[in-house]
């Protein structure tokens, strides 16, 4: 393998999604990027915190994802918040759009990464919003789990 392929590309995560939503289903899909966007993502200059996916016509689009302009780019750099097309099979798009329309669910990106062949991929999740009580329960369970791990480590 060449040195470029061995270098680990960054894995951009949407950390807020796990706090704000209950994840019902996950799906991996491709992402259409322009040239300077690819370079910027490889440098880790992207954020999925405010991103979501929406149907436009018969296609699925990623909206609100921020990919910073490439530092060494020129005047032809991309718009940081432009809509980006998600690549899925037609039957997957129709299945997702039916679930979103009927059940009032949302499509949120969890991860943005490059696979081993160098293709940009997004892990898309079908989610349902958490209530304030659900968030409190999640935080309490996480705190209890940490406390148990601390007690176990002290026993050893």
Tell me which residue has tokens 């609100």. 64
Kindly tell me if the per-residue pLDDT of 2 is higher than 60: no
How far is residue 82's CA from residue 9's CA, in Å, rounded to a whole number?
22
Q: Which domain holds residue 35?
A: 9-130
Percent of the chain at pLDDT > 90 equals 29
CATH number at residue 21: 2.40.280.10
Phi, psi at residue 127, to the nearest 5°? -130, 160
Structure-token pair, residue 126: 């079908």
pLDDT in tens, 124-148: 999 888 777 777 888 888 889 999 9
Structure-token pair, residue 34: 């322009």
In this predicted structure, what is the pLDDT of residue 1?
A: 46
For residue 111, is it within any domain? Answer: yes
Percent of the chain at pLDDT > 70 equals 94
For residue 135, is it within any domain? Answer: no
- Cβ contacts of 99 within 8 Å, gap of 6 or more: 105, 126
Q: Among residues 115, 113, 119, which one has the least CA distance to residue 41? A: 113
3-state SS assignment for residue 118:
coil
For residue 145, is it within any domain? Answer: no
Number of independent structural domains in the chain: 1
For residue 142, is it within any domain? Answer: no
Do the beta carbons of residue 126 and residue 96 sit within 8 Å? yes
For residue 4, is it within any domain? Answer: no
Tell me which residue has tokens 């990106």. 109
pLDDT in tens, 41-81: 888 889 898 899 998 888 999 999 999 888 887 777 888 89
Q: Is the pTM of this model over 0.85?
A: no
Say how many C-beta atoms besides its own lie within 10 A of residue 90's C-beta. 9
For residue 22, is it within any domain? Answer: yes
For residue 141, is it within any domain? Answer: no
H/E run at residue 112: strand 106-114
For residue 138, is it within any domain? Answer: no
């Amino acid at each position: 393998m060449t040195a470029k392929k061995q270098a680990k590309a960054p894995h951009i995560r949407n950390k807020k999604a796990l706090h704000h939503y209950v994840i019902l289903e996950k799906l991996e899909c491709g992402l259409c990027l322009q040239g300077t966007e690819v370079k910027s993502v490889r440098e880790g200059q992207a954020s999925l915190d405010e991103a979501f996916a929406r149907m436009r016509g018969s296609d699925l689009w990623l909206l609100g994802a921020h990919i910073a302009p490439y530092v060494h780019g020129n005047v032809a750099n991309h718009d940081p918040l432009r809509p980006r097309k998600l690549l899925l099979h037609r039957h997957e798009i129709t299945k997702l759009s039916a679930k979103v329309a009927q059940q009032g669910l949302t499509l949120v990106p969890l991860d943005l990464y490059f696979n081993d062949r160098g293709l940009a991929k997004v892990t898309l999740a079908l989610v349902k919003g958490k209530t304030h009580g659900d968030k409190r329960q999640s935080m309490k369970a996480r705190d209890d789990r940490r406390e148990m791990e601390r007690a176990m480590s002290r026993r050893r």
